[in-house]
Amino acid sequence: MVIIILILFILSSLLAVYSFGLFAKRVKGEASYALATQDNQTQLDKALAPESALHPKQTSLLLIPSNLDAFAIRAASAREVGRSLDLQYYIWNDDLTGQLLAIELLHAADRGVRVRIILDDMNSHGHSSLLATLNLHPNISIRMFNPTRARDNRFMRGLEMILRVFSINRRMHNKSWIADGRMAVVGGRNIGNEYFGAADNRNFFDADLLIGGEAVKETEAIFDDFWNSDAVIPIEALVNADSNSLTQLKEIVQQKKTHLSAIPYLNKLKETPSVKSLFTGEWNKGGWQVHWTQSAHVYSDPAIKAFGQGESQWLIHHIAPLLENAAKTVKLISPYFVPGKNGVNQLTQIQQKGVTIDILTNSLAANDVIMAHGGYAPYRKPLLANNINLYELKPFGKTERSLIGSSDASLHTKAFLVDSKIGFVGSFNFDPRSANLNTEMGIIFEDPNIVSALQKEFAMKTSRDLSYQVILVDGKLRWLDENENDEPIIWQQDPQSKWWQRAMAKIVGYLPIESQL
């Protein structure tokens, strides 16, 4: 009986995958590509073309660790853009900051700007109708990565996800914001309150890089690869929207701008330098200074990774050699760090060459994904036993305060530094999912100014105010908790965590699901 059920499931699964493939080919959107830049067509062209000409074949970089600045620079670029916006995200929440940025997109589209958006379907499904309404605008096109056909019926969607489990398991984790082909924001932030300091419970530490010049072309090529791939489907093929809903949406979103909670963010936007002043050096306050380098490139998994293909082009093959060739130091930030046995062995081999390795991840109490912590926890002892330093972010450290008062913290930055010379900022977690299942992207660079800025971020995040140091005492895990005013505390179990969190993490550690974490 069990064998019969298994055979029926396999046949049904194959039929579901085949049927979806036919559907995807039938509704695939027309190919389109990044619009060519011109010297004097838009404000950004006029401002940035001369700067790019002064730095041929180079890329400008500006690290954006501040959540509020990260929101403001995206909104500011949408206001200044004149030709195109190409946006690619894993999550775009229908919340305050997501709506405020959607307002800017609508205004840009009304001015004639072509807006293309690629979103991962797993996290966007809940507001498909909103996205379909935006898609009604003649200048806005939205495509969904690896979506389900079933949209309204939860049972049917669940059934489709079960039958397509191996294909639906692959998600798009890329994050990029490209304006007029002149500037881009690449890094770890999605679009939502917790990424911009607006959440009322927990906000993320994260990092982006604002880039101009050559690497913007690389980011555009990555976007076009996904936009024209078989892995994305136009949202109009999945969801219907009423023809009057766009007018209604414009009325609703305009009201959002007068809402009390929106005022601090709109005020922050007024204080933010223009993109022009940033790149031309007219604004040099508060650390807003771009740096040009010949050694900066944006890399991504190819879109065909959605089908398990193109392995030689996967991002891991750009990252791994940098770590393996480290000579002195590796500093790694990964909020969902699941090294696995192979990862522990590789890090140990690097350490045995005399390389000092420091790793920062979330503590259990700070982690918003307990399953990821469950996958990481069993490897703490082996890492520490091999002289690899571990730091875990405190859940209630001194954070950049949310404008609405939240101070709870969680790590979301994905970055690393090698030998105080090479840096990486992107979406790649050091876990099996990032390496083998999801598509990821990021920027690898060599620039002393940006490397130094990232080192300062690492030093701050691993300071005694913000992190515990995990240590081994007589073969047992302990957490060193220090601050300036009190005596050091040695925790004997995951600090500030609840019993059910520890229980769940423990159970996950025993389950054969590491490849999915």
Active site residues: 173, 175, 180, 412, 414, 419
Whether the Cβ atoms of residue 414 and residue 205 lie closer than 8 Å to each other:
no
Instruction: Tell me the C-alpha distance between 100 and 110, whole Å.
Output: 16
Whether the Cβ atoms of residue 109 and residue 139 lie closer than 8 Å to each other:
yes
Distances from the Cα of 268 to the Cαs of 3, 15, 271, 457, in angstroms?
A: 62, 52, 5, 22
**Locate tokens 């059934």: which residue?**
159
Pairing mode of beta strands 232-234, 140-145: antiparallel
Listed residue (362, 383, 384) closest to 374, CA to CA: 362
Question: If DSSP codes are grouped into helix, strand and coil, which group holds residue 202?
Answer: coil
- Burial per residue of 35-55, b for 16 or more beta-carbon CB atoms within 10 angstroms, e otherwise: bebeeeebbbbebbbebbeeb
Task: Work out the number of other CB atoms within 10 angstroms of the CB of residue 396.
Answer: 12
Listed residue (175, 516, 174, 497) closest to 362, CA to CA: 497
Listed residue (245, 241, 289, 284) closest to 450, CA to CA: 289
Listed residue (468, 471, 482) closest to 411, CA to CA: 468
- Written as six digits, the tokens of 203 are 């906000």
- Written as six digits, the tokens of 387 are 């002289």
Whether the Cβ atoms of residue 394 and residue 361 lie closer than 8 Å to each other:
no
Pairing mode of beta strands 356-362, 389-393: parallel
Question: Rounded to 5 degrees, what are φ and ψ at 507?
Answer: -60, -45
